[in-house]
Amino acid sequence: MTNAGIKVAIVYQAHPAPAVKGILKPTKPGGYADSGADIAYALKIQQINVITPAPNPYVDKDTDWVFPDTEHGIAHAIEKGANCIWLNTVLYADHPIATFLNRGIQVVGQHPVLSGMYDDKWLTAELLKDNELPVPPAELLSYEAFTAGTKKVHFPIVAKPIRGRGSEGVALIRNKQEYHAVITDMFQTDRYGTTIYLEKYLPGEEVTITVMPPGEYQIHGKKEKKELPWCLPAVKRFNHHNGIAPYNGTVAVIHNSAVLNDNEEASMAIQQLYQQCAQAGKLVGMKAPIRIDCRADENGNYFLFDLNMKPNMTGPSRLHRHDQDSLTALAARKIGWDYPSLLENILAQHWGL
């Protein structure tokens, strides 16, 4: 594992991602500039060469630390000396980074084509199902089918944006009245596009697992080479709001999440889940961490219900952000990585064409 010679710039999402077949992905206010600044600051204090748009960035001004993910923004970072771009943004097939990848720039993040493809919950669930991985029963609901009233629905169900972002827009629906109110609102807000994802509600325990890509890592002071995707310790979620884990922008994850203890982690169910999540990571061609949310049914059987190609990467590197641990950062602490160590290990998996 080495970051020698790396000069890294972090980019954030400057514009909404384009619609794909009428499906929209909601944009986070600020476009991940906050977590991008967390990353940049943490790496800088670790003596990593971090390129920033401001020559002397203010610790609490996010945009002093990160470049927009536009062609001009990325070019600006490279002009200032960056040879590696950390893609703390939403990716899609013709994202501006593709141009620079073809010119030999190194990146931290997913391949833009694969990230855009597997941001689609339906397509990803079908891929996992086709490879005999457990996913909850689900179906698509178009605006036309909803307004025609032709869809037969069995409650309880969970409604989700097809290209979602965390738990934003996700709702548990228990009856016909809630169904009409929730789905009408989802279509009327025009944030998610013309089709909604409906999934069987799982009432059991929820855990989230960060899958790391193959590569060389520094763990407990020793260099370890991982030939295949591998999992950080699982984090359990609790204090759900109406059956759904609240969006981390509303409730900090340190208030509703905890790493499994050794006994919980040693269970056959969790160990099997690690194998399944690592296999899912391989299937989607991961090149950077992904996060998979899993939940048990009424019989205690776990299902992979949400695969996130861009896990949240906030962290408590700046004093005014002391409570901003991400689920991945919580998991990493159990293997001896603080937030800066986690980021250094992720940075070391940079890649190029």
Query: Residues 71-83: pLDDT tens digits?
Result: 999 999 999 999 9
pLDDT of residue 247: 60
Q: What mean pLDDT do residues 173-193 have?
A: 91
pLDDT of residue 98: 95
Reported as a single tens digit per residue, the pLDDT across 64-115 is 999 999 999 999 999 999 999 999 999 999 999 999 998 999 999 999 999 9
Class of domain 137-200: alpha beta
Pick the CATH number of 7-108 from 3.40.50, 3.90.79, 3.60.15, 1.25.40: 3.40.50
* Helix 339-347, helix 33-45: angle, nearest 10: 90
* CB of 42 closer than 8 Å to CB of 65: no
**Region 206-347: CATH code:** 3.30.470.20
Instruction: Give, in order, the Cα–Cα distances in Å from 7 to each of 97, 106, 171, 306, 347.
Output: 16, 10, 42, 33, 11
pTM above threshold 0.75: yes
pLDDT of residue 251: 65
With H, G, I as helix, E, B as strand and everything else as coil, classify residue 235: strand
* Domain limits, the chain: 7-108, 137-200, 206-347
Q: What is the dihedral of CA 319, 324, 328, 329, to 10 degrees?
A: 30
Reported as a single tens digit per residue, the pLDDT across 270-325 is 999 999 999 999 999 999 999 999 999 999 999 999 999 999 999 999 989 988 89
> Exposure of 320 by Cβ count < 10 A (0-12 exposed, 13-18 middle, 19+ buried)?
exposed
